[in-house]
Structure 1
Amino acid sequence: MKQKILFIMHMPPPVHGAAMVGQYIHDSKLINEKFEGHYINLTTAKNLQDIGKVGFRKFVDFVMLLHRIRKSLKTINPELVYVTPNACGGAFYKDYIVVQMIKRMGYQVVVHYHNKGVSTRQNRFLDNILYQRFFKGIKVILLSECLYSDVMKYVKREDVFVCGNGIPDITNHSTCSDVAASDHIDGKVPHVLFLSNLLISKGVVVLLNALKVLKEKGYCFVCDFVGGETVEMDAAILQNEVAKRGLEDMVVYHGRKYGKDKEAFLNAADMFVFPTFYPNECFPLVLLEAMQHHLPCVSTTEGGIPGIIDDGKTGFLVPKHDAETLAEKIQTLLSDATLRQRMGEAGREKFEKEFTLEVFEKRMAEILSDNVEC
């Protein structure tokens, strides 16, 4: 008989990185053939704007969630319970209650982190006590070895598994076509792509400052900003920031794009730039998308990003908030089309080796098997 696993994880809606990975697990033919999977959506948010908010409705939803989990545990009696908790703040307190209830009912737990922040709260008296109890007797899955420092105060290294995310390969080719390669080398104005919601912490202003440096040096380029407007930065605010730096002829905002529309920008780009310093940034799927499309990537050392980008081989890593160094690395790529192509191909090779959905599913199935057999 198949071993039973209860998956308590984020799934769409709303759509974000952790929810998409949850959906991949839910739909995985490999995982569902190997295990008898049962699934509960952990989220109580209705949309992205609802994340982090509190209210009576969310409290009622949480109580109902606890009831559903308790009932499912008694009915299914799983060999393992898989949970994707939040690392800190109010969302952690909610997930702490979930995990402690499961442990007290006698079930083995493995938690899979898609965010970070334990180390930022571990010196607070209450949080420290809760983390000690939370991590006792459980195994932890991290997205990158780089992220172990976030939980090392509470978790022994032998109790940690590393499983980088993966995404479906939608490109249907393993190397750039001759036409695409020649377009990127001969005569075309290089396109820089930023693909994310318009958040300051995603590096929007840092990138604009770097582009200003490059324009003043006489470099020619187009930077396409693709992503949703936010409360802190809408299209009008972005355009004002662009105008302040004299970049109106070089920066174009296209709004949020999905599916083939988004893929068109990835196909047209010559490099992908993502200077994030977002506090919860762990393993941006957008970098995997860029590597899938043969793009050299320039990003920061935030979270698990150093485990994605091989500095100097598949792209460049720069310090957070450092517009001058960011400009320098973009300049290197603008000046050398052959280097862009070589780094893009190296990124594609790493994507195929480490970050496809098939690789992720296989790695996850192995980790789940190891924990079920513990």
Structure 2
Amino acid sequence: MTKDKILLLIKIPPPVTGATLMNARVRDSELLKQSFNIDIIQMSYASSLNDLGSYRLMKFVKYIKYSTNLFFKVLFNRYAFAYFQISPLGISFLRDCFLVSILKLFNVKILYHLKGKGISKQNNYLFKKLYRYIFNYESVIILSELLKYDIEDVHKGQVFIVPNGIPVCKNNYRKNKYVNESLNLLFLSNLLESKGLFDFIDAMKILNNKGIIFNAVIVGAEGDISEKELEKILIENSLQDRIKYLGPKYGEDKIKIYEATDILVFPTLEDIWGNVNLEAMQFGIPIIATREGAIPEIIDDKITGFLVDKNQPDQIADKVEILSIDAELRKKMGEAGRKKFLEKYTFEIFEENMKRVFETILSKN
């Protein structure tokens, strides 16, 4: 029996972000490839984080290429539906609207995967009309029940909840990690103000002024904050001996950093999920993170870590101090986080959830 054909319209690295990495994993999923007849259009507009939002001729050339490719694919193929990770805001949304219009022109059903938020805050009349045209009665995947509110006013179709999942690293869990002589803290994110980097630094300053001994590392690519700017800020706050910037790390290098980490601090100001939380949980690391996006669903406050308010470095410092003097609490939280990760957030679970969603859409054709 011939399998129904599905078109994946996905944005992949570069740049390396949580969304593009998850898209690449969907593309490479053996379970999905074995279960369905999949066709793929891969898109990548920006060469780096700093290139996001910029206007260059090469981006326009790529856009024409992707649009043309899409047009001829839907012209000469019959797809059961198209899976599309649409950008929900700004110029990127307007760009994606044209791709959607091509799909709608050929009556191709669409399954959107939303990995951003902010639709409910949009007051522009044109955007509101476009949102209703784009989403309307199409199916949508969101990452958490906590994010449903964002599309309620513009979407009347079926909503699927599929949390992100990441591959399990083998032999990565060291039960003796909680007896480190020094406290090792990790901030792992691209250097973006929206990720709460300044709040992290302010919290570290509070701890340093209290005489609490710690070592911290910042891991991530340059964004709207450069390495030079970061180094200047650390010197101005007398933290250059306490905090080291290591740049972006991947693969085994990142694993080694996690293995040496006692606490992950993720004080993001604008986020929808944060795969870094899942990575820390699988390494048995307690997390201090902000109440933002779906993070309160991932982190159980006072069980797998602590939740704090945004823009409150004093709260971050307080929670780090609590964990710094209680190795048993760090161990208990870390083990609870790892257990939750293995039960809910592995890539195998994500694959199975995606397979079920695809099957549900196909069953309605």
| TM-score range normalised by the length of the shorter chain | over 0.9
> Residue type matched to 1:59 in 2?
F
Q: What is residue 154 of structure 1 aligned with on the other side? A: 154
Q: What is residue 36 of structure 2 aligned with on the other side? A: 35
Q: What is residue 284 of structure 2 aligned with on the other side? A: 294
Q: Report matched runs for 1:136-175 at 5 Å.
A: 136-156=136-156, 159-172=158-171
Report the more deviating stretch, 39-48 or 66-75. 39-48
Deviations 1:153-177 (A, max 9, x none): 1124x6211111111111335x533
In the TM superposition, residue 71 of structure 1 has moved relative to its aligned partner by: 1.1
Q: What is residue 329 of structure 1 aligned with on the other side? A: 319
In the TM superposition, residue 45 of structure 1 has moved relative to its aligned partner by: 2.7
Retained in 2: the 8 A contact 1:108–1:138? yes
In the TM superposition, residue 333 of structure 1 has moved relative to its aligned partner by: 1.0
How far apart, in 2, do the equivalents of 1:19 and 1:59 lie?
Answer: 20
How far apart, in 2, do the equivalents of 1:160 and 1:144 lie?
Answer: 10
> Residue type matched to 2:129 in 1?
I
Q: Report matched runs for 1:230-309 at 5 Å.
A: 230=223, 232-278=224-270, 281-309=271-299
Report the more deviating stretch, 48-57 or 220-229. 48-57
Q: What is residue 5 of structure 1 aligned with on the other side? A: 6
Retained in 2: the 8 A contact 1:143–1:165? yes
Retained in 2: the 8 A contact 1:193–1:225? yes
Retained in 2: the 8 A contact 1:198–1:233? yes
In the TM superposition, residue 97 of structure 1 has moved relative to its aligned partner by: 1.4
> Residue type matched to 1:103 in 2?
K
Deviations 1:267-322 (A, max 9, x none): 001010010113xx211111111111110011111212112111111111111111
Retained in 2: the 8 A contact 1:171–1:293? no
Q: Does 1:199 align with 2:200?
A: no
SS of residue paired to 1:223: strand
Retained in 1: the 8 A contact 2:143–2:161? yes
How far apart, in 2, do the equivalents of 1:170 and 1:201 lie?
Answer: 29
How far apart, in 2, do the equivalents of 1:100 and 1:224 lie?
Answer: 45
In the TM superposition, residue 192 of structure 1 has moved relative to its aligned partner by: 0.6
In the TM superposition, residue 195 of structure 1 has moved relative to its aligned partner by: 1.0
Deviations 1:139-161 (A, max 9, x none): 110011111121111124x6211
Change (3 A) 1:43 1:239: closer
> Residue type matched to 1:294 in 2?
G
Retained in 2: the 8 A contact 1:112–1:141? yes
> Residue type matched to 1:238 in 2?
L
Retained in 1: the 8 A contact 2:128–2:154? no
How far apart, in 2, do the equivalents of 1:80 and 1:266 lie?
Answer: 39
Runs (4 or more) in structure 1 with deviation over 6 Å come to: none
SS of residue paired to 1:254: strand
How far apart, in 2, do the equivalents of 1:68 and 1:282 lie?
Answer: 30
Q: Report matched runs for 1:1-374 at 5 Å.
A: 1-121=2-122, 123-156=123-156, 159-172=158-171, 176-177=174-175, 180-181=176-177, 184-185=178-179, 188-230=181-223, 232-278=224-270, 281-374=271-364
Change (3 A) 1:228 1:120: same
In structure 2, runs of 5+ residues without a counterpart are none
Retained in 2: the 8 A contact 1:80–1:109? yes
Change (3 A) 1:13 1:208: closer
Q: How many residues align?
A: 363
Retained in 2: the 8 A contact 1:171–1:292? no
SS of residue paired to 2:16: coil
How far apart, in 2, do the equivalents of 1:97 and 1:335 lie?
Answer: 55
How far apart, in 1, do the equivalents of 2:229 and 2:266 lie?
Answer: 19
In the TM superposition, residue 358 of structure 1 has moved relative to its aligned partner by: 0.3
How far apart, in 2, do the equivalents of 1:129 and 1:229 lie?
Answer: 36
Change (3 A) 1:238 1:50: closer
In the TM superposition, residue 12 of structure 1 has moved relative to its aligned partner by: 2.6
How far apart, in 2, do the equivalents of 1:46 and 1:249 lie?
Answer: 33
Question: What's the RMSD between the two structures over aligned residues?
Answer: 1.6
How far apart, in 2, do the equivalents of 1:60 and 1:200 lie?
Answer: 31
In the TM superposition, residue 35 of structure 1 has moved relative to its aligned partner by: 0.5
Change (3 A) 1:55 1:224: closer
> Residue type matched to 1:369 in 2?
E
